[in-house]
Each structure stands twice: as C-alpha cells, then as structure tokens.
C-alpha cells in the first residue's frame, strides 16, 4: 500500500485528536479538524459510559436501560458463574463425550468448528432474574439484568451425538464445565437432540470468556444454568445425575408442600426499559419501550398499561419477532402530567400470559426460591416527571 506524506501528517493530526477525545474534549467544530485514522479495534464513543451492573462476586447484569433493539452487545451480556471465569487455552481445550455411546470421542475446538454450523438469535436468562426486594431507585438492569440476547453460532449437539453413536435407550446426559465449580447439570436427551447447540460464536466473534469461551452448551429458552459454560465433558446416560445445582439449588418450593425440579423452560416476561428509573420525563409524547421474551417460542403480544393495570392496549412489536429471543415493543403515550403507573404484560404464541405478582405469590408462596419469577412489573411516573420502580413486597 502506498502511503503519502500527506496521509502520514493527517494520521499524526488524528492522533492528537484521539488524545483530545480521550480527555473528553471534542472539538467545537468537528468539521474543521481532520478525523481519526483507522484503528484495529473499535471503541465506544468516549461520552458513552455504558457498563454492566456488577453484583457481588458471581454475577453482573445487562444495563437494559441503556440499550436499544434486541441484540445485547457482547461485552454487556450478563454473567453468572459459580467459581469465577476460567482462563482457558483454546489450543488445549477439548470436549469429551462418553457414557452410553458407541464411540467415546474427544473433540478439539478445531474439530467442533469443522462440523456444519448454525447461527441462531436467542435470549439467555438466568432463572433467578428478579430483584424481589428492589426499592424505588432500581433500574431495569438492576431489576432484571440477567437476560441478554445474542446471535449464537455452533454445532448442533444432535450432530455430535450422532457422530459418537449415542444409544437409543439414552434419556439424559450430564454436561460438565471446566470452571472451578466444575458445574454440572443433567439435560434430557429430547432437548439435546432437538435444538441444543455446542456454541463457540457470539455475535460474530468467539464467545466471550464470561459466556463460556471457548465452547459452551446452549439450550434455547431454558434456564441459563443448564447451558453449561466452558464445557469439558458430556456423559450420556439413562438417568438424571441429581447434581447439587438441580437439587439443592434451581428448584422451586410450591405452596402445596412440594419442590419443583427440572423446571427448565423460562416463561414469558416483559420489561419496560424506557421510561424507567433514573429517567425524568417532560410532558408530551413518550415512546414507552422495552423487551419481551418467552422460552416457549415467539412473543405474540405485549400489552401496555399507563393507568396501573386498569386498561391495557397492545404495543407495536418490532420485526423481526424471533422465537426464543428478546422482542422490542413500543407504545406511544402522551403524558399530560400527574402521577401514572406504566406496566407491560407479555403473551406468547402458546397463549401463556405473564402473571401478576399476586398470582405467582399465591402459587409459589412467600418463602419460595427466587427462580422462575416472571411477574408483571411497573414504573411510577411521578407528577414531577421522575420515574421510579413500583416497589412491591414479596409476601
């Protein structure tokens, strides 16, 4: 490539401009300053400070209040782990599949990438995704940041199970991670043979470490914990393994004195992401918008109420409406003043309607675990225009 002296000078000027921007000093008239040269990786505009919401040592949430559309930027995808994020050498990585198979086999990462691949856009949600004790000053990301949507690329698990000769009498498999928790979950073969992926790609690039680099199990629509990250082993069996995660954790006591286990599917839910805390509104037209999703398929409808649930109207759904993916909904509202409570309610293609908190509480009881709680939630627009979370006691 020929580089002229003029380009070099322009590049030097650009470097000066980079320094200025890094200090938050954009030129008064950008059209009078030569712009930046190309660079190997892009960065957010320096004025944009969007970040995940880190909660303790084991999770961080997606800041839904700062995002738009349906795809979650990979560096803002939520994380949840039980032994920290492992550092894995992709050249040393391998996946062992054994148990009730004709040919126990080891696959390297390069092996996995040689198989025919698919890419699908799906949400992934932690089953404990509700801040039950959230106060008024709660953002959408703090309330329900443990759901994100990405385009996932990988090899269908069914392809690998055919490759190793999984036996017809097999009904379950164990998925095991190579993190410090060596996390394990039992997965029914029916799901493994249906739409399960061994994913190595996320939004067009290798999966991020927090999402399971270099390869993970991905079970569309199911509670996030079952999509075992940093996958090192699959054991095919005819029984569930009753691991700690699927017995003492990720089970839900019910008011009838039972505890539900293997509750895989995430039920339909919606979340208004604008307006929400900490926004302050001005009188006039507001485009209420948010995300809705369901582990049972497509979102069919999202109803929005601006009067605390007395009346509802159907929001517009942003196309494409994808199965098992976040769906953006929008609803125009003319706020003329006074206090208002805005709420959203998702309905999926099976006809399932997102429940009220009262209905969930009656079924599950005040002492139940925080898994699979998907109640209708709302935001209060105060007369001043300040928006706060509509706090509700759990039990």
Partner 1 sequence: MGMTRPRLVCQLAALLVFVLTGAVSAQAPARFGIGRPATPQEIARLDIDVMPDGTGLPPGRGTPAEGAAIYASKCAACHGKTGREGPNDVLVGREPREGFPFAQNPRLAHTIGNYWPYATTVFDYVRRAMPPMAPGSLTDDEVYALTAFLLNANELVANDAVVDRSTLPAVKMPAREHFVPDTRDQTARKPRP
Nearer to partner 1, 38 or 116 (CB): 116
Question: Which of 65, 129, 148, 323 is close enough to bind partner 1 by CB under 8 A?
Answer: 323
Using the rule CB under 8 A, give the single segment among 36-44, 68-76, 198-206, 318-326 that binds partner 1.
318-326
- At closest approach, how far in Å is the CB of 83 from partner 1? 6
- At closest approach, how far in Å is the CB of 331 from partner 1? 24
- At closest approach, how far in Å is the CB of 169 from partner 1? 16
Q: Write out the binding residues for partner 1, residues 227-266 only, by CB under 8 A.
A: 232-233, 235, 237, 239, 241-244, 247-248, 251, 253-265
Contacts of 204 (CB under 8 A, 6+ apart): 151, 153
Q: Write out the binding residues for partner 1, residues 363-382 only, by CB under 8 A.
A: 364-369
Nearer to partner 1, 43 or 350 (CB): 350
Tell me the C-alpha distance between 316 and 336, whole Å: 22
Tell me if 111 contacts partner 1 by CB under 8 A: yes
Nearer to partner 1, 30 or 135 (CB): 135
Location of structure tokens 């025919």: 116
**Residue 359: cis peptide before it, omega within 30 degrees of 0:** no
Nearer to partner 1, 61 or 240 (CB): 240
The string over 254-271, giving b where at least 16 C-beta atoms fall within 10 Å of a residue's C-beta and e elsewhere, is eeeeeeeeebbebbbbbb
Tell me the C-alpha distance between 169 and 36, whole Å: 62
Number of residues that bind partner 1 (CB under 8 A): 75
Q: Bridge-partner residues for 197, per DSSP?
A: 156, 218
Q: Write out the binding residues for partner 1, residues 12-71 only, by CB under 8 A.
A: none
Tell me if 316 contacts partner 1 by CB under 8 A: no
Burial class of residue 111 in the structure, from the number of CB atoms within 10 Å of its CB (0-12 exposed, 13-18 middle, 19+ buried): middle
Burial class of residue 147 in the structure, from the number of CB atoms within 10 Å of its CB (0-12 exposed, 13-18 middle, 19+ buried): buried
Using the rule CB under 8 A, give the single segment among 103-111, 136-144, 202-210, 302-310 that binds partner 1.
103-111
Tell me the C-alpha distance between 161 and 234, whole Å: 10
Tell me if 125 contacts partner 1 by CB under 8 A: no
Question: Which of 16, 106, 332, 359 is close enough to bind partner 1 by CB under 8 A?
Answer: 106
Nearer to partner 1, 42 or 367 (CB): 367
Question: Which of 8, 19, 30, 103 is close enough to bind partner 1 by CB under 8 A?
Answer: 103
Nearer to partner 1, 211 or 226 (CB): 226
Nearer to partner 1, 94 or 356 (CB): 94
Q: Write out the binding residues for partner 1, residues 155-214 only, by CB under 8 A.
A: 159, 162-164, 174, 176, 180-184, 188, 190-191, 194-195
* Residue 390 DSSP class: -
Tell me the C-alpha distance between 163 and 198, whole Å: 14
Tell me if 226 contacts partner 1 by CB under 8 A: no
Residue 58 has φ and ψ, to the nearest 5°, of -125, 0
Pull the structure tokens for residue 17. Answer: 């401009």
Tell me the C-alpha distance between 167 and 331, whole Å: 51
- At closest approach, how far in Å is the CB of 35 from partner 1? 43
Tell me if 274 contacts partner 1 by CB under 8 A: no
Q: Bridge-partner residues for 193, per DSSP?
A: none
Nearer to partner 1, 193 or 279 (CB): 193
Tell me the C-alpha distance between 137 and 391, whole Å: 9
Using the rule CB under 8 A, give the single segment among 30-38, 62-70, 99-107, 378-386 that binds partner 1.
99-107
* Residue 357 DSSP class: H
Tell me the C-alpha distance between 376 and 387, whole Å: 17
Nearer to partner 1, 51 or 259 (CB): 259
Of the CA atoms within 13 Å of residue 150, those in its CB half-sphere come to: 26
């Amino acid at each position: 490539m020929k580089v002229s002296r003029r380009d070099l000078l322009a590049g030097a000027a650009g470097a000066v401009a980079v320094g200025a921007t890094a200090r938050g000093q954009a030129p008064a008239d950008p059209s009078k300053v030569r712009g930046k040269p190309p660079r190997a990786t892009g960065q957010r505009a320096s004025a944009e400070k969007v970040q995940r919401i880190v909660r303790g040592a084991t999770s961080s949430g997606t800041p839904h209040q700062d995002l738009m559309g349906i795809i979650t930027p990979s560096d803002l995808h939520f994380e949840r782990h039980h032994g920290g994020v492992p550092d894995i050498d992709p050249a040393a990585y391998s996946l062992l599949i054994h148990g009730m198979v004709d040919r126990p086999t080891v696959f390297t990462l390069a092996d996995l990438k040689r198989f025919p691949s698919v890419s699908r856009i799906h949400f992934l949600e932690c089953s404990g995704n509700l801040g039950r004790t959230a106060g008024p000053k709660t953002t959408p990301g703090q309330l329900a940041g443990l759901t994100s949507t990405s385009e996932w690329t990988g090899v269908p698990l069914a392809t690998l199970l055919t490759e190793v000769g999984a036996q017809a009498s097999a009904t379950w498999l164990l998925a095991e991670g190579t993190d410090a928790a060596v996390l394990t979950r039992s997965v029914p073969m029916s799901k493994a043979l249906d739409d399960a992926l061994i994913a190595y790609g996320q939004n067009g690039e290798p999966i991020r470490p927090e999402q399971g680099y270099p390869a993970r199990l991905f079970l569309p629509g199911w509670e996030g914990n079952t999509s075992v990250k940093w996958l090192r082993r699959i054991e095919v069996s005819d029984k569930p393994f009753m691991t700690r995660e699927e017995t003492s954790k990720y089970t839900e006591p019910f008011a009838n004195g039972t505890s539900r286990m293997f509750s895989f599917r995430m039920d339909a839910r919606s979340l208004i992401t604008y307006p929400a805390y900490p926004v302050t509104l001005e009188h006039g037209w507001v485009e209420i918008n948010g995300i809705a999703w369901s582990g049972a398929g497509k979102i069919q409808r999202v109803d929005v109420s601006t009067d605390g649930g007395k009346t509802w109207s159907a929001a517009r759904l942003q196309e494409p409406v994808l199965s098992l993916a976040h769906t953006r909904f929008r609803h125009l509202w003319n706020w003329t003043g006074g206090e208002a409570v805005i709420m959203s309610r998702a309905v999926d293609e099976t006809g399932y309607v997102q429940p009220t908190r009262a209905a969930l509480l009656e079924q599950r009881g005040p002492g139940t675990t925080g898994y699979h709680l998907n109640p209708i939630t709302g935001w209060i627009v105060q007369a001043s225009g300040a928006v706060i979370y509509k706090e509700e006691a759990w039990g």
